[in-house]
Amino acid sequence: MLKKWAIVFALVSTIVKCETGNLEDRTTLPKYPNTSLEKVIQLDRPPGNISVSASGRIFFSFFPQGSPPIKVAELKNGQVLPFPNQNFQKNFNTVLSVRVDDKNRLWTLDYGNLGLTRPKVYAFDIETGATIHEYEFPISIAPKDSLFNDMQIDTVTETIFITDTSPLIPDPGLVIYDISNKKARRLLKDHVSVVGERNEIVVNGSPFQVAGVSIIFNADSIALDQNREWLYFAPFTSGELYRAKTSVLRDSTLTAAQLAAQVEQYSLKSMSDGISIDKSGNIYVTDAEHSAVNLIDPDKKITTLFKDPSFRWPDGFSYSPDGYMYLTCSALNEVFLQTDNTILSKGPYYIYRFKPEAEGIIGR
């Protein structure tokens, strides 16, 4: 399967001959020393995304390259435990995004191996481990080569907002899923807010390529503000962050043009994987190119909080009731489409935590 995707990259590169550029380095001198970013746990495989519950329970995914025996895990007393149990792991294919909501539900988003199988969302009661929701996205919503990357949950309207980065044969967008009615829609096809700029990813001076092809990651970063009024989102390889009102995104009566007119360019940013927003309106941005964590304040000024080459591809955030922001580093540039042996040889991998600038939103 890994060889198959390498061939796809090579074929796409011969069909689409577009020059790539480079996004300027928008990091600053780091505000804090790297020792302020605490190691929470060392892992033999890279973590994907992370989410912490109101009671402080820590859930995360293992990055779904290779053959991780645990795909969705809970970190408990320094031990990594399969969630909801080991037997259920066989139901997961390629889970990347995990989110605990304020109703004590853990949501998992399975991108179905780039659409080769059906992408699926599950919800679990975190107290009992019982499966309380399941939905399989049809091919009209999740076509082949889709990659449902990350999500945010609005528990007031029971809506899930999903980014589809679609890196191979690009058709990115936002997906809006109505939990109560089990209905999904794709939005913003070909819009600048979901289509990545053709900037080459250069990680600490080394280009990130597969089969000699520079990868363009599209819609990726996603964050929901405290009042669930604004959804912030952006392509990975773009230098801009966008936002739209959640009420607008949920409005199925709008035409594509009417919806597009409501999307705002919010600020500049670095190349970004995970983002999070605190209660003071600060937006935390992982910067994989420069092994950094940046912050966009309400005045839209970018400040680097941490920066060190040892932070290999900062990836996903989650705020915790202990007052820390948790952070995964997935080393994606070293493990994307690699074999299991290669992934294991490049360990260890880490989950970190740090004190954010203001109180965050638990689980996000």
The CATH number linked to 140 is: 2.120.10.30
Looking at residue 17, its pLDDT comes to 46
The answer to whether residue 5 sits within a structural domain is no
SS3 115: helix
- Distance from C-alpha of 314 to C-alpha of 326, rounded to nearest angstrom: 11
More confident residue, 25 or 7: 25
Neighbours of 182 (CB within 10 A): 12
The answer to whether residue 11 sits within a structural domain is no
The answer to whether residue 152 sits within a structural domain is yes
DSSP state of 24: -
Closest CA to 109 of 49, 157, 69, 67: 49
Closest CA to 285 of 309, 306, 264: 306
Q: Is the pLDDT of residue 12 over 80?
A: no
**Residue 297 confidence class, pLDDT cut points 50, 70, 90:** very high
Looking at residue 210, its pLDDT comes to 77
Is the pTM for the entire model greater than 0.75? yes
The answer to whether residue 259 sits within a structural domain is yes
The answer to whether residue 163 sits within a structural domain is yes
More confident residue, 255 or 209: 255
pLDDT tens digits for range 65-105 = 889 999 999 999 999 999 999 999 999 999 999 999 999 99
Tell me the percentage of the chain whose pLDDT exceeds 70.
Answer: 95
Looking at residue 21, its pLDDT comes to 84
Backbone angles phi, psi at 97, to 5 degrees: -85, 135
The answer to whether residue 16 sits within a structural domain is no
**Tally of domains within the chain:** 1
Domain that holds residue 68: 34-354
Specify whether the CB–CB gap between 137 and 117 falls below 8 A.
no
User: Which residues, listed in sequence order, are joined to residue 317 by a DSSP beta bridge?
Assistant: 327
The answer to whether residue 8 sits within a structural domain is no
Looking at residue 326, its pLDDT comes to 98
Tokens of 330: 């997935």
The answer to whether residue 20 sits within a structural domain is no
Looking at residue 152, its pLDDT comes to 98
